[in-house]
């Protein structure tokens, strides 16, 4: 069994400090990284059309719909991956889906 070893690989490390083969053993994750950087499309919220039904919050796989006091307050673009699921299910046309600039 391979022993897990968390290493933050930096340019000034020597070979003795690296993992065997220079393998990065930690998977990318939303806790350590702003996974929104990987996005090519983004949802854009139209506050005027929003009915605060929160269906978008239910379906978002990244928990990126911000909610306070039972109402939608925005989108966490640091972690939204732009999958478009929220825009597809919004029945009120309150979420546009546009290419990332």
The minimum distance between CB 101 and ligand SF4, in angstroms, equals 16
Q: Which H or E run includes 89?
A: helix 85-89
Cβ distance to ligand SF4 smaller for residue 24 or 44: 44
- What's the CA gap between 5 and 42, in Å, rounded? 35
User: What secondary structure does DSSP assign to 1-70, as a single string?
Assistant: -PPP------TT--TTTSPGGG---SPP-TTTS-GGGG-SEEEEE-TTT-----HHHHH-TT--EEEETT
In angstroms, give the least distance from the CB of 51 to ligand SF4.
4
Residues that bind ligand SF4 (CB under 6 A): 43, 45, 50-56, 60, 62, 64-65, 72, 75, 80-86, 90, 92, 94-95
Q: Using the minimum distance from each CB to ligand SF4, give the nearer residue, 26 or 96.
A: 96
Nearer to ligand SF4, 17 or 78 (CB): 78
């Amino acid at each position: 069994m391979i022993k897990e070893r968390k290493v933050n690989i930096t340019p000034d490390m020597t070979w003795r400090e690296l993992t065997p083969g220079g393998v990065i053993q930690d998977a990318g994750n939303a806790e350590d990284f702003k996974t929104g950087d990987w996005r090519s499309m983004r949802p854009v919220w139209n506050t005027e059309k929003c009915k605060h039904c929160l269906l978008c919050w239910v379906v978002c796989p990244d928990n990126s719909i911000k909610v306070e006091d039972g109402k939608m307050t925005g989108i966490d673009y640091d972690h939204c991956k732009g999958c478009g699921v929220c825009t597809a299910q919004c029945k009120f046309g309150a979420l546009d889906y546009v290419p990332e600039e």
